[in-house]
Amino acid sequence: MKRDFVRIADWSASELWDALDLALHLKREHRAGISHRDVLPGRTLAMIFQKPSLRTRVSFEIGMTQLGGHALYLGPDDIQLGKRETTEDIALNLSRYADGIMARVFGHDVVEELARYATVPVINGLSDLHHPCQALADMLTIRERRRDLAGTTLAFIGDGNNVAHSLIEASALLGVAFRIACPEGHEPQREIVEAARAGGAAVEVIHDPREAARGADVLYTDVWASMGQEEEAAARRKRFQGFSVDGDLLSLAHPRCLVMHCLPAHYGEEITYEASRAPNSVLFDQAENRLHAQKALLALLLA
Ligand code: CP
Ligand code: NVA
């Protein structure tokens, strides 16, 4: 049976731990100069992008090369997902050529539909609702710095968006206490929060960034307007005033608090440039760990 990675909550805690263990192992070996070209020899990953990307495209493409395989970039103008032919037919066609599909899409239903019809594994490289690869890399980053994920308090400052949703689901499975401070009307989806709580997770949704930051082990933020929300950017800039990760917020957190952002960043909005370069900033570790976490994912799904 093929396995997909469409959202974090589709996986069990032990599957996530296995992926994190393998990612750490692959990272250590890669740093030691050990080749992984025998892991996916000659395998191909088809990568569909409806939205732009730096990290996702580059880390998947280089990850496949490092594993001995190959990745194919299909941009918005190439296959015109949902316009030129149906998502079902795209999934069925790509399954005849490629060994796996990675897709960055607008509607989450599109990546779900790809997974339903494809006969090869489908990985969500970001949808409007989830960004599971980001959360996997982020948990790897926190684990490297703090050793124990359980007992860690992650405070997310800003929009209850795709990144927040995946972090909630990953936190719930791995024992991280999650709290988000967002303006009224920008809360994460109620079903996602309630499902995490039903599984026994500590998930708090509040509206005061200072309260969220107090004593936190991780301060995490993301853009106020996500891809596809460009027209709302000006209105959001007003609504999100006070929800910036800056020196003031950092001073309330734990002294060794990690500063995290999935990138790309809008400096001076959701984070100041100074806070992004704080001694405990791990922004570029997160970016690097996309490579190692996704190599683990590819090895588990495509081998
Ligand atoms: N964090 C992230 O997914 O970056 P890209 O949008 O550049 O892929
Ligand atoms: N929330 C952001 C994440 C980018 C990696 C977006 O969807 O644009």
pLDDT tens digits, the chain, 303 residues: what are they?
Answer: 899 999 999 999 999 999 999 999 999 999 999 999 999 999 999 999 999 999 999 999 999 999 999 999 999 988 888 889 999 999 999 999 999 999 999 999 999 999 999 999 999 999 999 999 999 999 999 999 997 899 999 999 999 999 999 999 999 999 999 999 999 999 999 999 999 999 999 999 999 999 999 999 999 999 999 999 999 999 999 999 999 999 999 999 999 999 999 999 999 999 999 999 999 999 999 999 999 999 999 999 999
Whether residue 255 is preceded by a cis peptide bond, meaning omega within 30 degrees of 0, is no
Residue ranges around ligand 1 (CB below 6 Å): 53-56, 126, 134, 262-264
Residue 82: the pLDDT is 82
Q: How far apart are CA 69 and CA 155, in angstroms?
A: 38
State the pairing for strand pair 70-74/44-49: parallel
Q: Is 104 a catalytic residue?
A: yes
Can 290 be counted among the known catalytic residues? Answer: yes
Residue 238 CB burial class (10 angstroms; 0-12, 13-18, ≥19): exposed
Q: What number does the ligand 2 atom closest to the CA of 263 have?
A: 5
Residue from 175, 164, 279, 263 nearest 212 by CA? 164
- Is 174 within 8 Å of 136 (Cβ atoms)? no
What distance in Å separates the CA atoms of residue 281 and residue 261, rounded to the nearest whole number? 9
CA 257/CA 283 separation, integer angstroms: 13
- Supply the pLDDT for residue 80: 87
Helix axes 162-174, 132-146, angle to 10 degrees: 50
- The model scores a pTM over 0.75: yes
Atom of ligand 2 nearest to the CA of 228: 8
Structure tokens at 28: 């250590």
CA of 223 to the centre of ligand 2 (A): 7
CA gap 277, 218 in Å, rounded: 15
Both tokens assigned to 175: 């024992």
Q: Do the domains at 8-131+290-302 and 133-286 have one common CATH topology?
A: yes
The rounded Å distance from CA 184 to ligand 1 centre is: 26
Domain ranges for the chain: 8-131+290-302, 133-286
Q: What is the dihedral angle through the alpha carbons of 109, 111, 117, 121, rounded to the nearest 10 degrees?
A: -150
- Residue 238: enclosing H or E segment and its boundaries? helix 233-239
Among 134, 135, 164, smallest CA distance to 56 is for: 134
d(CA 181, CA 207): 5
Alpha-carbon distances, residue 194 vs 169, 177, 225, 273 (angstroms): 11, 14, 24, 34
Probe residue for ligand 2, chosen from 131, 186, 224 as the CB with the greatest number of ligand atoms within 8 Å: 131
Specify whether domain 8-131+290-302 bears CATH 1.10.150.20.
no
Between the CA of 143 and the centroid of ligand 2 the distance, in Å, is: 23
Given this structure, which CATH class describes domain 133-286?
Answer: alpha beta
Active site residue 131: yes
